[in-house]
Structure 1
Amino acid sequence: MTDPQNPDSSSEIGSGLASTDAEPKMAPVSGHGHGARRAVLRGLGVVLPPLLTIVVLLWAWSAIENRLLIPVEGGIRYLMVWGFADIRNSVPENAIVDPQADTPDAKKRPGFNYRSVDYVPDPTGRKYLPAHVVREVDDRADAFGATALPPKTAFAYWDRYYHLNYMPRWITVPVFLILFISLLYFLGRAFTGGIGRWFVSAFDATILRIPIVNKVYGSVKQITDFAFDDRQIEFNRVVAIQYPSAGIWSLGFVTGNGMREVSEAAGEPMLSVLMPTSPMPMTGFTVTIRRSEAIDLDLTIDEAIQFVVSCGVVVPPQQRIETPGKDLTGKAPAVQPPSTIDTSSTPSKP
């Protein structure tokens, strides 16, 4: 209806209705965009855990290979070349020199035959090695990769020859893993008690006295102790307590029944609870609380650790609250926006 005192009211109402009708048309676009973004985030949540696991394992293997396997291989081949390689500094007596290869250039000396073995000079021209070693290494140069430089000395030729024939990767890697795991086993048995435990404690104390180094070593040791030492702390169950003040709930791991004198002073049973810190649950502090003040949670130790590491983002399925249609805050429903009021039923002014 048109207000007699305000002839433009009908046009304003009409424009308001037009704008009201036009606004919902943009909602599907934003909804599709939000759904696509949510799908991408869920895809990342599915792909990232196995991908990061593979990346960490590859990084660990690359570190072991570059810092341990390759130096050990190189050292063994060096000893093999030094002890068994047939490298001659000069032409021996009774050797048959190849006259066709004779040249006035001193760096390109001719080869020779000695005891039915053909010898050729190395790239430096100062030493001799068997010709079959040079041929095999040159013929199988692709085995070392396209970026590998050709050998420059007789020692380098023999090093690659032993690598190709006696130390290929399909042999060295399994042997290395067996020896490495065996070494870890014997070290673990040796340093778990007696003199071994004392030696480890003394070594740790010495390292922790060195400035700067003690910070790095201490952090790494905390992580490795938490990840690999299964005897350090045994968690009984997961509880929630009001800490550090009433109304603030924190998650903790029960480690024991507390101390006797504390229980006697409180007049009731107590609990020792480890309060982990996010996102590093291997660090934290211990509190002693009344058993009646702890709430047992339906959580496994692994689920609780995931919750702490993710800073509360990863919640186990049995603990999730999925009630989008229910108002958990107790607030009154929001007032309907003015743009959605039906103006056709609004009485006009007299």
Structure 2
Amino acid sequence: MNLRDIKITSFSKLIIVATVLILILTKTALWKYIAAALAPILMAFILAYIMDYVVRFLEKRVKLSRMISILITVVLFIALLTLLGFVIFPNIVEAVASLIKAIGAIDMTKAVDFSFLNQIDFNNIYLKQLQQTIVDTLTPMLQKLTNFTGTAVMIIVNQLQQITSGLISFLISFVIALYMLAEKNDLIARIKRLLYAYFNDKQVQWVFYISRMSDMIFKDFVIGKLIDSTIIGLLSYFIFVSFGFEYSVVIALIVGITNMIPYFGPFIGAIPAGIITLIANPTHPIDVVYILLLILIIQQLDGLVIGPFILGDSVGVSAFWIIVAVTIGGASFGILGMFLGVPVCVLIKTLIEEDIERKLAAKGYDGLEEQNLRFRKKHHKST
């Protein structure tokens, strides 16, 4: 099945109407209630989608029944949550609490000394101006951190209720995800019946094609990036501990999470890492330089060795399109949009390119400029 065999005009109109309707709803108070109602179901779908990979592995490779596979997957998932809850999470909470105390105890006017920057002699008027600008900018910013303590405490207190509500919502989503896994075949069958009842065969085949393409792209990128970022987070933790940095667990967590964002992630993670390091030891601001260098080395190792080994060429788009996707996704949906913008961009790019190929072939320009295209036909092999 290929898009060149499918006429999608009428279905495209339906998608446009649905998109406009969603955009209108997001500007009204009604959307808040709709989003609140759908959030647990969406979370349940994400959990079921991730856990289903483990279930299918146990079914196909280990040859276990689906119910046994689901049971083992749930046990592994709960064990992972237990590990996070009793081993990792308390260390993070303790480190964050200690960090807040450290912020309040710092007298920035006395503790932070940037004289080492002024002692460096740059034999260039422009570099000297840049040097002085850095000193003049950083000093007042760091002095204001002492006022952040009270605000941070109030934010934490105000968020406790939302955290409790979020945990309850997560438990509800987890239970729904279990039912989704157990009744997967029934749900798929009902979706197929609904589609065939209300749309013609070609439109239904187009929906199935988009679904398979989306699953393949998200599996390659999201799952691979999750594994890659976990490795980077653990590697960062052991390296920071070996160099004796305080709050290594918090900094490594930040590095691991922001690593999920292509290209911009390392820069986003480096900023709080440098600030935390400076707060931990304000009398030695040179430590900031050291930890930034370590993060740079780790990211280079990820980009040259770890990332290509795990992800391969799963992204399938050039750096230009990745930066565009991250920028638009971040502006529209924040951090989550920065991460999901890349696989969505890959999906849209692939579909548009297939439609372009179909139209070029119809005009007798099949293969036009293909020798100059990068990552072409990346996801066509399995369709």
Taking structure 2 as the reference length, the TM-score comes to: 0.18
Taking structure 1 as the reference length, the TM-score comes to: 0.20
Q: Which has the higher contact order (CA 8 A, sep 6+)?
A: 2
Please state which structure has a larger fraction of its residues in helix.
2
